[in-house]
Amino acid sequence: MAYLFTSESVSEGHPDKIADQISDALLDNFLAFDPESKVACETLVTTGQVVLAGEVKSNTYLDVQNIAREVINKIGYTKGEYQFSGDSCGVISLIHEQSQDINQGVDRGSKEEQGAGDQGMMFGYATKETDNYMPLALDISHKILQVLAELRREESQIGYLRPDAKAQVTIEYSDENIPQRIDTIVVSTQHDEFDSDQKMLDKIKEDIIAILIPKVKELLPTNIQALFNDHIKYHINPTGKFVIGGPHGDAGLTGRKIIVDTYGGKGAHGGGAFSGKDPSKVDRSAAYAARHAAKNLVAAGVADEILVQVSYAIGVVEPTSIFVDTYGTSNVNFSDGEIAEKTAKLFDMRPSAIEDRLKLRNPIYLETAAYGHMGKQPQTLTKVFESPYNGRVEKEVELFTWEKLNMQDEVKREFGI
């Protein structure tokens, strides 16, 4: 029997995502001026206020208030009528030094002996469903909001948009787990005041269906475009008016969108958030490493769908376990347990090895903090950081290294493919 599966995404102007982006901007600045910084930074945003908290061990000092304001303005919260603006909000910093009890388990005599920054389990997932090996419903949800943000910034076709938005996509699958059609699309977007509520609803629905959706389809391959049909159920701003939004409508916190950040409910999640954490925190680095392993295994043809779990004990170098589930889609003559053994051989999951392999001690994290940490195109760019205390730094960095398909040949040799 056919079934439905749903994933959601949220925009860069969603309160929780504002918090994530501020936390990762602070992390990037610490790493830009001191690559060995240890950072765990949390952010709270609400009406007219930003609160920064957490633990940092670093040789640099930052103007954290100014960094937070720059992020808020770049997102688009620049008007007093939003009740939250980068130029006028209060920014309170409660950041303090990292606990020595934690640090002694992480910093060792040599980098190779670096222990995990916490206990826990992390998951990586990949599927042949899309070209970027991501679940389809999540991929489309992200694209809807990325295009919506582009239209908001252009102000040419849909000039009434405000920064806060959410999207949700429901797809019908066959018994063979093949996408058949898009069943439902939900878009809720913040907007300016209209003369009448009915005029507002009609205009927003018309623009989403006639302007936004065609632009989203253009980004998708032909086989995915074919899933769009005349019978899609659209719920556009289903609660009606959405003028009050952003941190004025709801408080936002770092780490509250962990499913949006990963696989949209597919695979599994260990529970640890990413943003604001330096790579010694395996919540983040090992989740990236597990995605890198899963993606290369699927791309090499080991299976059509793979989940990789890795787990750690705080302060211990070697992972406590590596687990693989191919969901019955394996294309090789090995059990899932044997695939897990080979995965451990191919992908060194010690914390320091992950940092080195994926180049994680670089300021690469702000770009991860909206529209998902997984599934984006690897790229190299130059980032500039300026500080009244540290001067100006230019760094060429590689973004999304965990998305590289650079281990396929090794995987194929190991599995005889």
| Cα distance between residue 21 and residue 370, in whole Å | 7
Question: Choosing from 251, 299, 313, 353, which is the catalytic residue?
Answer: 251
Q: Is 194 annotated as a binding residue?
A: no
Locate all alpha helices (DSSP H) within 76-182, ordered by sequence: 100-106, 136-154
Confirm or deny that 338 is annotated as ligand binding: no
Was 210 annotated as part of a binding site? no
Is 16 a residue of the active site? Answer: yes
**Cβ atoms of residues 269 and 276 within 8 Å:** no
* Residue 205 counted as an annotated binding residue: no
Torsion of CA 10, 13, 16, 19, to 10 degrees: 140
Burial of 110: CB neighbours in 10 Å, binned 0-12, 13-18, 19+: exposed
Q: Catalytic site residue 42?
A: yes
Q: Up-side HSE of residue 376: CA atoms within 13 Å toward CB?
A: 22
Residue 16, annotated as binding a ligand: yes
Active-site entry in 162, 281, 291, 357: 281
Would residue 281 show up in a list of annotated catalytic residues for this protein?
yes
5 has binding-site annotation: no
Burial of 6 (0-12, 13-18, 19+ CB in 10 A): middle
> Is 404 assigned to a binding site?
no
The answer to whether 119 is a known ligand-binding residue is no
- Show the tokens assigned to 192: 């300016």
Instruction: Please tell me which residue in 38, 152, 248, 257 is annotated as part of the active site.
Output: 257
176 is catalytic: no
Is 17 catalytic? The answer is yes
14, 57, 266, 292: the catalytic one is 14
Which of 36, 63, 172, 250 is an active site residue? 250
User: Does the annotation flag 242 for ligand binding?
Assistant: yes
Q: In sequence order, which residues have a C-beta less than 8 Å from that of residue 20 and are 6 or more positions away? A: 43, 254, 255, 257, 261, 274, 275, 276, 369, 370
> Is residue 250 annotated as a catalytic residue, yes or no?
yes
Q: Is 273 annotated as a binding residue?
A: yes
Place of tokens 């290369």: 296
Question: Annotated catalytic, 166?
Answer: yes
- 283 catalytic residue (yes or no): yes
How far apart, in whole angstroms, are the C-alpha atoms of residue 186 and residue 177?
Answer: 22
- CA geometry: angle 352, 372, 341, nearest 5 deg: 45
Whether 250 has a binding-site annotation, put simply, is: yes
Give the β-pairing of 49-57 and 38-46. Answer: antiparallel
**Furthest CA-CA distance within the chain:** 67
Task: Write down the catalytic residue from 42, 139, 207, 261.
Answer: 42
Asked if residue 383 belongs to a known ligand binding site, the reply is no
Determine which one of 33, 242, 400, 415 is catalytic.
242
In 174-208, the DSSP E strands lie at 179-191
Does 257 qualify as catalytic in the annotation?
yes
Choosing from 55, 63, 70, 348, the catalytic residue is: 55
Does 251 qualify as catalytic in the annotation? yes
**Is 55 part of the annotated catalytic residue set?**
yes
- Residue 74 is among the residues annotated as catalytic for this protein: no
Point out the residues that are catalytic: 14, 16-17, 42, 55, 166, 242, 250-251, 256-257, 277, 281, 283
Q: What residues form the annotated binding site for L-methionine? A: 55, 98, 250, 281
Binding residues for ATP are: 14, 164-166, 241-242, 250, 256-257, 273, 277
> From the annotation, which residues make up the binding site?
14, 16, 42, 55, 98, 164-166, 241-242, 250, 256-257, 273, 277, 281
